[in-house]
Amino acid sequence: MRIIQLITKKQRRGAEIFAAQLSEQLQSIGHEVLLVALYDGEAVLPFSGETISLGRNPSRRMTDRQGWKILSAIISDFQPDLIQANASDTLKFASFSRLFYKWSTPLIYRNANQMSLFIRGKSALLYNKFMLKQVTGVASVSKASMDDFKSLFSVPLIERLPIGIDPSSIDQNCKVLGNRQIGHEYLLFAGSLVKEKNPLGMLDIFNSVFEKHPSLHLIFLGSGPLEASLKEKIKALRMESFVRLIPNQENIFPILSHAKALVMPSKIEGLPGVILESMYCQVPVVAYGVGGIPEVVINKETGWCIDSGDSEAFKEGILEVLNTPLNELEKITAAAKELVLKNYQMEQIAKDFEMFYGSVIANAETTYK
């Protein structure tokens, strides 16, 4: 197959990283893949094939007819069997391009979250329904995301297709020492500094944990619009010596693999890749049970899954990780690693996508006649 993977931009964000990893795996099993980014970005993504950046202006994403025409020209030149739009602005961009320039290539939308949490009002719902009329199939990252999507929209084909990990790549990246070794025991928050990820809430939780573990540190690994507010709050709490902000890294594993726990107090999630990576590295996970997280973080079996918004229980979960005897903790982290190896390896995930692509292509003619 010839496949176009459409991403928002070259950035170290879950949707883009997974699309690149999937593209690499699909390419390795014989498919021809072109990665197309809507906007300019500087991140190095894990894909060795051709990447095209359209360099469009995000502020014009609702009226960018020239950009839609450029995408149509790329489709005409590359002649893909299928196009996959990977979250964010890619759905509207591909849908408008299809509407205006009448290309007929089957279009898949990769649904990486629970859309009902982002739709505000009837007009937004109708708008998304209109966009999705251009879509032949939907790949949902988790059962929770799929069920949520089905409650809102009707599409010809929808399937749960989770993200995956590449164990050999992780093993190799863990061996890199880098220059980010932390000289203290630390918790790790890995993700964008945005409201949905709740970094300010995490700081409050850490402040409570710190009272009982005054040698513990907290690392925020990521960047985003809440960075300034986070720095102000760290200063107000006089935690500058115990909380560090580290920007996005091409290789997070030298930091991730040595954390006492990965902490994820998100208000909204699909199924974060960093959770699977932590589980593979046998780093304990403490997370709110939102989105697809409860599908992998089974409380006291493969991690600590906390009721959403219960910050006191989240604190207690962290304290349990810190106080659990090593032999008992290792049983939980070993079970987490086994679950990931059994169900979430990229090699198998790519084959599942391959089968879904075949179904979408086979159904495309009847969907659009």
User: What's the rounded mean pLDDT across residues 216-236?
Assistant: 96
Residue 335 has pLDDT above 90, yes or no: yes
> Closest Cα partner for 198 from 215, 222, 167, 174?
222
Two tokens, residue 140 = 């949902």
pLDDT above 70 as % of the chain:
97
Domains and CATH numbers, the chain: 2-164+346-368 (3.40.50.2000), 167-343 (3.40.50.2000)
**Is residue 180 within 8 Å of residue 255, measured between CB atoms?**
yes
Q: Is the pTM higher than 0.95?
A: no
Band (183; pLDDT cuts 50, 70, 90): confident
**Alpha carbon distance 20, 131 (integer Å):** 24
**Alpha carbon distance 28, 205 (integer Å):** 43
Two tokens, residue 67 = 């950009």
Question: How many CA atoms lie less than 13 Å away from 4 in the CB half-sphere?
Answer: 26
Residue 254 has pLDDT above 70, yes or no: yes
**Alpha carbon distance 122, 334 (integer Å):** 46
Two tokens, residue 93 = 């961009």
DSSP states of 41-81: --PPPS--S-EEE----GGGTTT-HHHHHHHHHHHHHH--S
**Alpha carbon distance 256, 186 (integer Å):** 10
Query: How many other β-carbons are positioned within 10 Å of the β-carbon of residue 69?
Result: 13
Q: What one-letter code names the amino acid at 313?
A: A
Give the pLDDT score at 118. Answer: 86
How far is CA 163 from each of CA 70, 120, 140, 225, 355, rounded to the nearest angstrom?
29, 27, 10, 26, 15
Q: Which helix (H) or strand (E) holds 92?
A: helix 90-101
Residue 368 has pLDDT above 60, yes or no: no
Terminal C-alpha separation, the chain = 22
Residue 38 has pLDDT above 70, yes or no: yes
Question: How many CA atoms lie less than 13 Å away from 253 in the CB half-sphere?
Answer: 21
- pLDDT tens-place string over residues 115-151: 888 888 899 999 999 999 999 999 999 999 999 999 9
Handedness of CA 313, 342, 138, 3 (dihedral sign): positive
3-state secondary structure of 1: coil
**How big is the chain, counted in residues?**
369
Beta strands in 161-302 (DSSP E): 186-190, 217-221, 243-246, 261-264, 285-288
- pLDDT tens-place string over residues 7-26: 999 998 889 999 999 999 99
